[in-house]
A and B are shown apart, each in its own frame.
Chain A
């Protein structure tokens, strides 16, 4: 039974990181209806910036964590400014294609750095002995990661509920014309959405990097696993991202714990989310919390 609870705990840990990764994705989709395929690369970039600042520049890890969030904030904002601003009003297909192209470019840029081919791991800054409770153990890095995730998601929820900028972002996602008429600058909101997505991606990247080590392929894979999560939760719902992230984390951990090794299966955790995604798309296309688009001619 403790095995079961262990899986539940690690599922929640993984799931909360998924939730944080999906958050940035949902932010961009919610405000500008753009599917950001390059999200995994931004996650990876955030993690690498934290490492570079901590190890190569010798800055304390918490400060470099914040610094990396600031850097990706401006990085994503400029990505939006350079590549996507001029595509406002273009068909949605070309916008998605641009993010696919962006994914390739960021891939190339990261391959140019040493991070593209080598594996690194963060220096230990937390006690390495895990906390055990009744046969269930959780490492300090995981615990701190989950706490940071919860804090960030709470901040984002507050931001959307109460801050003026957050409310204007919600307004834009609801109706662009109407929000323009009350004086909201739509390009600025789009830029802000990208910037905040970059910020949350950097946080997610740093946490993942601490837990799994810095491997470009792993970090990039998170960006793609985000797709099943957001589809399950509904593409434009923050609560959906959190709930679906945790569900997906649990499913992956259970698959890895119970399916792998039996019946000659292995690596099911990598493929199960996508199978679930195809099934959800067939039967509940708008996910758990997504808005149903009502089309009027």
Chain B
């Protein structure tokens, strides 16, 4: 390692330990800490409206879900067209519990961290089950398996009276140390909960990727026969990737249910699965910053689409149905353009930016 631990122009690793470091220099660590602190501190300085808080919370929930999708699609190379269904599994684990034991049961309102964790594990169990065909099959077939899981999930929720046939199932307000979380501080409270979850999940994923299990995923993506020859079990690794994705999705689903104080089937349709995929692609598959940047970009895009369709609605006929048209059009176009011209996503721009500053004043 270079003697200067604050700035390093280029990589000078001499041991594998150094290469696996999360923060290369003290400057990286400092900037990341500042970023985290600012994320935690800004609500104390600026008071955002409920509408804006809702958008921000949505982005953070999507970040947690996209961690999972990025693990399975980006790092393990298995396409999942049913990620919204896994998110839905988490949401309905919570909502189903609330429906059977009462929406204001102590378990729901006081032991909510436990419930979020349980939802995650149920999501993981379903993920592993859907990933089972991976023991014998390659990615194409797996993509279809996840798609069919999505269809089965939607049907089950719509059909079963236990799940209120897809209608909203409400969940009670939770309690914190100083009593029930009221209507005014609801979004702020959940902002902090989701933020802490997202940070822990992010650290978890980052650390997973430098353990043997994380490297296993990447090895299986790059060449599963070679990975097999190296003594890994490609099938089990894929099942385990799906289980991990299911876990993150389940956690995201439980957070979603708590934040909206209920779960309805319309948040977990095929359309949402495609949005999650778009987020992962636009952010950059197989990168951790991508899981953060993708949801932000897509949510901003969605807001802009809403603005445009509101503006256009003033002079267009209702039959044009612009509001429904613009969203798929926007997502599809962005996904395709990114795949064609920047397959490594926004994270690649981030990387280019970083290396520019890191190497300055040299070009390379």
Does B145 make an interface contact (CB < 8 A)? Answer: yes
CB-contact partner of A97 in B155, B277, B324, B325, under 8 A: B277
Query: If the complex has contacts A96-B140, A108-B325, are A101 and B336 also in contact, measured as CB distance less than 8 A?
Result: yes
Contact between A87 and B143, CB atoms less than 8 A apart: no
Residue numbers in B under 8 Å from A285 (CB-CB): 133, 136-137, 141
The closest CB in chain A to the CB of B326 belongs to A108
Q: Cα distance A275–B331 when bound, in Å?
A: 29
Interface size on A, residues (CB 8 A): 47
**Cβ proximity bits B330-342 to A, threshold 8 Å, 1 near / 0 not:** 1111011001100
Contact between B151 and A224, CB atoms less than 8 A apart: yes
Does B132 make an interface contact (CB < 8 A)? Answer: yes
Within 8 A of B (CB), among A263-279: 265-267, 270-271, 274-275, 277-278
Q: Cα distance A97–B282 when bound, in Å?
A: 11
Does B329 make an interface contact (CB < 8 A)? Answer: yes
CB-contact partner of B332 in A90, A108, A295, under 8 A: A108
**Cβ proximity bits B292-322 to A, threshold 8 Å, 1 near / 0 not:** 0000000000000000000000000001111
Q: How many A-B residue pairs have CB under 8 A?
A: 142
27 pairs, A vs B, C-beta closer than 8 Å: A35-B143, A83-B336, A92-B139, A96-B140, A97-B277, A101-B278, A101-B339, A102-B336, A103-B332, A104-B335, A107-B328, A108-B332, A112-B322, A112-B329, A114-B319, A117-B319, A117-B321, A118-B319, A224-B147, A227-B148, A265-B159, A266-B159, A267-B155, A267-B158, A270-B155, A282-B133, A285-B141
Query: If the complex has contacts A98-B340, A100-B81, A297-B225, are A117 and B147 also in contact, measured as CB distance less than 8 A?
Result: no
Interface size on B, residues (CB 8 A): 50
**Cβ proximity bits B44-80 to A, threshold 8 Å, 1 near / 0 not:** 0000000000000000000000000000010001010
Chain B contact residues: helix, strand, loop or mixed: helix
Residue numbers in A under 8 Å from B151 (CB-CB): 224, 270-271, 274
B135 to chain A, nearest CB (A): 9
Residue numbers in B under 8 Å from A265 (CB-CB): 159
A112 to chain B, nearest CB (A): 5
Does A166 make an interface contact (CB < 8 A)? Answer: no
The closest CB in chain A to the CB of B155 belongs to A271
Does B172 make an interface contact (CB < 8 A)? Answer: no
B315 to chain A, nearest CB (A): 15
Residue numbers in B under 8 Å from A281 (CB-CB): 133, 137, 141, 144-145
CB-contact partner of A100 in B133, B325, B333, B335, under 8 A: B335
Residue numbers in A under 8 Å from B331 (CB-CB): 101, 104
Does B149 make an interface contact (CB < 8 A)? Answer: yes
Query: If the complex has contacts A97-B339, A117-B324, A282-B132, are A107 and B332 also in contact, measured as CB distance less than 8 A?
Result: yes
Residue numbers in B under 8 Å from A101 (CB-CB): 278, 331-333, 335-336, 339
Contact between B332 and A102, CB atoms less than 8 A apart: yes
CB-contact partner of A93 in B79, B319, B326, under 8 A: B79
